[in-house]
Chain A
Amino acid sequence: MSYIGPKDFSEDTNLIAEVMRVMSGDLNLEWMKDCPHAMTARPSQARRGLTLDDINDDPYYGPSAIPEIIRRHFSMTPRGGVLPEGLPSLGYRLNRKSDVWADSATVLFEESKSRRWAPARSVPWDALDEASLSSEEDVAIRQLCTGLTSIGLVSTDVPSRWVWLMNQDFHEIKYWMCAQMFDATRLAEAFRKRALYGQGALGCDSRELGELLKIIMESDTYPLASAALNLTLFSFVQSLGRRFEFSSTNAADTYLGTRLVQDASRFIAYGVDHIRQLVGTRPSQVEIVNDHLDLVENGLVGYLGSRELIEPLIVLSGGVESVAAFYRRAAEQYFERCIAAGLGERQDRSPLPAFLKLLDS
């Protein structure tokens, strides 16, 4: 239902009288006197330009002043701005700093824009015309691209479910989440284009991938969604990008794999930093996050074992053992990141090691 403002401004006699006074030249300029704090904002490194960290280099405007729980306002006022009386609440529900915050988000946001690429022209698509792929390899690559397209699209959905609930004081995180949405959109775009390039076709969707993505999308809280998406899913997306590049025989696929890796790695960097700061501030969250990742990793086992993923990987690498080694290494690196995030050793509770053992046998 649409929101209806508390008054009919077009019928507000006080407002109309004020407008008439201003139009007759009677400016009171109160807003000019209300500037509470001036700072000097200059690029700290000319080549980097004016960064978010540069304009945060003052406690008044920077994030150090954000309390753990925001009770001061729920309005649209940018952090550090003057709060007049009567501002409407925009209904933000994420008002706890540790629920969202990662110090690295500012750098990752700037990095995301600086390391941008445009699939339409950046990818050397015509290299695919000369690629020496068998028909089986060609279909296998298009199948992998189908899954990556699904992952990219759902990875735009996840931050979008939470960003509008987040207090304006966390604007750096909101900026970063918007960058994530754009990065994920680009991945969906690039891999859909790869699937369809030339005499192309999309492959078969995977029920198991759908289940994994649903588990992530329907996470109960933002910290759980962030851990599931950024830490778990994107650890494996990064590995898939590495595998895609590893399997490539041409410049287009090398380019796509490398860019998937670099973009996925920013998601991971935020995820590790976010969860580490969350559990550092509220240690009780360790078990809550670990409980959720138990469910997510169960979904991940389904996806890693699904025919729609493992079979094209086998076709492209020429054998099961190579894929098992790839999965094992991806899992090792994922577990290292969980430790770095403050979640401790997950191997004993995770379903992944048993799954990997099954592949080895």
Chain B
Amino acid sequence: MSIRFPSLEFFRALQQRAKDDADVFEKLGVCDTTFGIRVGDDLYRIAFEVYECTEVDETNDPASLDFVLTAPVQLWKEMFASVLANGGADAAHTINTLTHVGDVMKVEYEDPEGHDRLYRFMATIQEFLDEAQHLDVELG
């Protein structure tokens, strides 16, 4: 059965995929950050500790997050379409590329050190999002 994007169910499915691919995440190294993904008006809280995605939930408290990746629903759909089509985001749709100048996907943060966790752990975060390639996703 396909999973609708955006939804909490979708991000929990990514969490499960990350657990199933534990060896991949362990190879990338420790990742300690709690960040947000804002899809339109919905904010999802994603927590990583050591090698695991330990928590996925919805939240109304961006201040508790190291950083928030913010984009309209359509951009996220475009990014995940690239993940699904290419077995992972292509060069034009990586998180780094989309956030690079700040005019496509925005990174919101209050603390620059929290913001830098995006860059310290970017490979893990990208891999987490790339796990969508293994899901049956309904992008709408």
Residue ranges of A at the interface with B (Cβ–Cβ < 8 Å): 45, 47-48, 107, 110-111, 114-116, 238, 242-243, 245-246, 248-250, 253-254, 257-259, 261-262, 264-266, 268-269, 272-273, 322, 325-326, 329, 333, 336-337, 339-340
Contact = CB atoms under 8 A, between A and B. Distances in A.
A45 B96 contact: no
Contacts of B94: 245, 254, 258
B50 A115 contact: no
B50 A45 contact: yes
Nearest to B118: A265
The 7 A-B residue pairs with the shortest CB-CB distance in the complex, in nearest-first order: A115-B29, A114-B29, A265-B119, A265-B120, A336-B112, A114-B30, A246-B100
Which DSSP category, helix, strand, loop or mixed, fits chain A's interface?
A: helix
A266 B121 CA distance: 10
Interface in B82-126: 91, 94, 96-97, 100-102, 111-113, 115-116, 119-123, 126
A227 to B, nearest CB: 15
24 contacts: A45-B50, A47-B50, A111-B29, A115-B28, A115-B123, A242-B119, A245-B97, A246-B96, A246-B100, A250-B91, A253-B91, A258-B94, A258-B96, A259-B123, A261-B122, A262-B123, A266-B120, A268-B116, A269-B116, A329-B100, A333-B112, A336-B112, A336-B115, A340-B113
B51 interface: yes
A269 B113 CA distance: 7
Nearest to A243: B100
Interface residues of B, number: 25
Contacts of A250: 91
Given A262-B120, A329-B102, A254 B91 contact: yes
Given A242-B100, A248-B91, A254-B91, 8 more contacts: A111-B29, A111-B30, A115-B123, A246-B100, A254-B94, A264-B119, A265-B119, A340-B113
Contacts of A259: 123
Contact of B100 (A45, A262, A266, A326): A326
A92 to B, nearest CB: 30
Contacts of B115: 333, 336
A261 B112 contact: no
A329 B50 contact: no
